[in-house]
Amino acid sequence: MASRFSCEIDPDSGFCHGVVRAVNKAEEFLAGGGRLFSLGAMVHNTAEIDRLARQGLSIIDLDGLALLGPGDTVLIRAHGEPPATYAAAQACGVQLIDCTCPVVLKLQRDIAAAWRSVSVSGGSVVIFGKKGHAEVNGLVGQTGGRAIVIQTLSEIDTIDFSHHIELFSQTTSDPGEYEALKAACLARSADITIHDTICRQVSRRHSKLAAFAAGHDVILFVSGRESSNGKVLFELCRAHNPRTYWVDSPESVQPEWLAEAADGQNGGSDAPLRIGITGATSTPRWQLEAVADSISGKVCFLV
């Protein structure tokens, strides 16, 4: 068993740019003493939501929005919203802080333009993404609810290939899965326009994360259980390192995970145990650091 260990936080982990921007705007507003409502959870991470709640952020849904009025301020999170939400906010008279990620905002505009083009000729807008996800709901809203959402390659038969297709992807989709869908669609029809709309930060993250996972003896993946992106990245880590474990707090790290990794590591019994800590794009840096700080107490059995 190893007598030493190293603990490394993935340098590319932490909030994506869109979430950082939204959190910063929320904290700036709350620092002024105002009351702020977020339309839906800003991130799918309970610990971060609790931290912001202590600063005065309240989460509401569309029904809650209807109860607000002039003098209230509502934050639109990075995921974005459909046009109907903006109409509802205008009807209530609330002030908006629109934190839609610029990447998502551009995608919304592109989908709206594509729909105006193909709808007159019976064509389709197809979106590869998670059904019911906030970002996807906002994208579908650009077509008046008439876009086709494909969550897995097995649903390809729901697409009508007899007319022109405009194919898009949710910004945080798995790049490999989207490539497979694109190839399958092109095999059925040449009358298709493919848009590469996965966020560049997300696509680069996949390749870097695979290398990070493979380069450690054990991976502690820190994320909220509700995170769609977290589920994708966790499975990516586990594909490259079977000793990958989901962690939602420092307390959830199990010493036996590290013990098993130490017993099975390569390089001999004197090699240090290499612990890698990473997470979803909805995982704040402070939470990764908290897990790292807790490690020394978890590996006391190695000394």
Residues designated catalytic: 135
Q: Which residue intervals of 154-216 are DSSP H helices?
A: 175-188, 200-214
At residue 100, the 3 state secondary structure works out as coil
Exposed e or buried b per residue across 90-104, where buried means at least 16 C-beta atoms within 10 angstroms of its C-beta: eeeebeebebbbebb
**Exposed/middle/buried for residue 294 (C-beta within 10 Å: 0-12, 13-18, 19+):** middle
Strand partners of residue 244: 219
Residue 153 has which token pair?
């390659």
How many other CB atoms are there within 10 angstroms of residue 59's CB atom?
16
Residue 129 has which token pair?
């993404």
